[in-house]
C-alpha cells in the first residue's frame, strides 16, 4: 500500500502484487481447511444440514400465536428484568466509574476497581446468569443480577474512560473555591460527561433488553425460558412465534432509543 506512495526506484509497476497479503490469505485458507477437518465439518454434513434446515423452516411456518398469554407474560418479565438491571447497573456504575478514573482517584483505588470492571466485562452474561441461578435460585432475580454485572462492565468502563478525557481546568477551578470532593464531582466532573453517560445508559438499556430475552435459557427468568421449553418440546411453530415477538420488541426498542437519542442531540 505504502510502496505505491514512495517514489519508484526502478520500473514502476501499476497494481504491484502485495505478497505479504497474498501469503496471509493463503495461510488463512489453509487454516480454514485444517480447522474444518478438526471440527468434523464436511461438505456432506453441510448439505445434509441444508435439508434438515428446510424441514425445520417448514415446521416453523405458520407461527402459532395461540398461547399468546404465555408469550406476553414472558415478554413483560423480560422487560422488567431489563428495566431493573439497567437502573441498578447505572446506579452502581456511577461510583465505580468515578473510582476507576485514573485522573480523579489514586492508583491504589483505580487499579482494583478497574480489575473488577474488567472481570465483569470479560465474563459472558449467560455464564454469570448460570452462576447466579445456582447461587440464588431460579427466577427473575438471577437474571437481573447477571445483567447488572454486565451493565457495570460496560457503563463503568466507558464512563471511566469519558472521565479520563475531561478537562481538568474546571476541576481545578471548583477545587480552588474550597469545594468538597462531592461538590467537585457534582459541579466540575459530571457536567462534562453527563451527555455521554446518558448515551451509554441508553445503549446499555437497549442491550439489556436484548439480553434479558435470553437469560431465561439458563433459568434466569424472562421469555428465554419459554423459548427454550418450546424448543425442547419441538413446538417449532410456537418457537417461531416467540422469535417474531422478540424481534418485534427489539425493533421497537431500537426505534424508541433512536428517537430519544435524536431528541437529546
Orientation of helix 140-151 relative to helix 68-100, angle to 10° = 40
17 contributes a contact to other proteins by CB under 8 A: no
Burial bucket for residue 5 (CB in 10 Å: 0-12, 13-18, 19+): exposed
213 contributes a contact to other proteins by CB under 8 A: yes
Query: Alpha carbon of 175 to those of 22, 162, 197: distances in Å?
Result: 58, 20, 23
How near is the Cβ of 41 to other proteins at its closest, in Å?
Answer: 5
Q: CB nearer to other proteins: give 15 or 107.
A: 15
Q: CB nearer to other proteins: give 72 or 181.
A: 72
Distance between CA atoms of residues 119 and 164, nearest Å: 20
How near is the Cβ of 18 to other proteins at its closest, in Å?
Answer: 10
Distance between CA atoms of residues 122 and 153, nearest Å: 8
77 contributes a contact to other proteins by CB under 8 A: yes
221 contributes a contact to other proteins by CB under 8 A: yes
Map residue 31 onto helix, strand or coil: helix
Which residues, in sequence order, are CB contacts of 212 under 8 Å at separation 6+? 78, 79, 81, 82, 85, 143, 147, 222
Pair 80, 213: CB distance under 8 Å: no
Distance between CA atoms of residues 33 and 42, nearest Å: 10
Contact window for other proteins (CB under 8 A) among 64-72, 93-101, 163-171, 220-228: 220-228
87 contributes a contact to other proteins by CB under 8 A: yes
49 contributes a contact to other proteins by CB under 8 A: yes
Considering only residues 94-153, where is the footprint of other proteins by CB under 8 A?
118-119, 122-124, 126-127, 130-131, 134-137, 139-141, 144-145
Residue choice 65, 187, 203, 231 for contact with other proteins (CB under 8 A): 231
Residue choice 13, 27, 35, 256 for contact with other proteins (CB under 8 A): 35
Pair 65, 241: CB distance under 8 Å: yes
What b/e readout covers 193-221, taking b as 16+ CB neighbours within 10 angstroms? beeebebbbbebbbbbbebbbbbbbbbbb
What b/e readout covers 243-261, taking b as 16+ CB neighbours within 10 angstroms? bebbeebeeebeeeeeeee
227 contributes a contact to other proteins by CB under 8 A: yes
40 contributes a contact to other proteins by CB under 8 A: yes
3 contributes a contact to other proteins by CB under 8 A: no
187 contributes a contact to other proteins by CB under 8 A: no
> Can you give the binding site for other proteins, defined by CB under 8 A?
1, 15, 28, 31-32, 35-36, 38-41, 45-46, 49, 52-53, 56, 76-77, 79-81, 83-84, 87, 118-119, 122-124, 126-127, 130-131, 134-137, 139-141, 144-145, 210-211, 213-214, 217-218, 221, 227-228, 231, 236, 243, 246-247, 250-251
Amino acid at each position: 500500500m505504502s510502496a505505491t506512495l514512495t517514489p519508484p526506484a526502478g520500473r514502476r509497476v501499476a497494481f504491484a502484487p502485495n505478497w505479504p497479503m497474498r501469503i496471509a490469505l493463503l495461510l488463512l485458507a489453509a487454516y480454514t481447511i485444517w480447522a474444518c477437518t478438526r471440527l468434523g465439518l464436511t461438505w456432506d454434513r453441510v448439505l445434509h444440514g441444508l435439508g434438515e434446515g428446510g424441514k425445520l423452516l417448514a415446521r416453523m411456518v405458520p407461527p402459532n400465536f395461540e398461547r399468546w398469554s404465555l408469550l406476553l407474560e414472558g415478554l413483560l418479565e423480560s422487560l422488567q428484568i431489563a428495566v431493573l438491571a439497567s437502573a441498578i447497573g447505572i446506579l452502581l456504575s456511577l461510583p465505580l466509574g468515578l473510582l476507576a478514573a485514573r485522573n480523579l482517584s489514586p492508583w491504589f483505588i483505580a487499579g482494583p476497581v478497574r480489575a473488577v470492571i474488567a472481570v465483569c466485562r470479560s465474563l459472558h452474561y449467560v455464564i454469570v446468569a448460570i452462576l447466579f441461578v445456582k447461587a440464588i435460585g431460579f427466577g427473575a432475580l438471577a437474571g437481573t443480577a447477571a445483567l447488572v454485572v454486565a451493565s457495570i462492565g460496560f457503563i463503568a468502563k466507558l464512563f471511566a474512560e469519558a472521565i479520563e478525557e475531561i478537562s481538568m481546568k474546571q476541576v481545578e477551578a471548583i477545587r480552588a473555591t474550597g469545594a468538597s470532593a462531592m461538590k467537585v464531582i457534582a459541579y466540575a466532573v459530571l457536567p462534562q460527561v453527563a451527555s455521554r453517560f446518558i448515551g451509554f445508559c441508553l445503549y446499555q438499556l437497549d442491550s439489556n433488553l436484548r439480553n434479558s430475552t435470553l437469560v431465561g435459557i439458563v433459568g434466569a427468568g424472562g421469555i428465554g425460558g419459554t423459548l427454550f421449553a418450546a424448543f425442547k418440546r419441538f413446538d417449532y411453530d410456537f418457537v417461531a412465534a416467540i422469535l417474531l415477538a422478540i424481534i418485534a420488541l427489539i425493533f421497537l426498542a431500537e426505534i424508541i432509543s433512536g428517537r430519544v437519542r435524536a431528541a437529546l442531540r
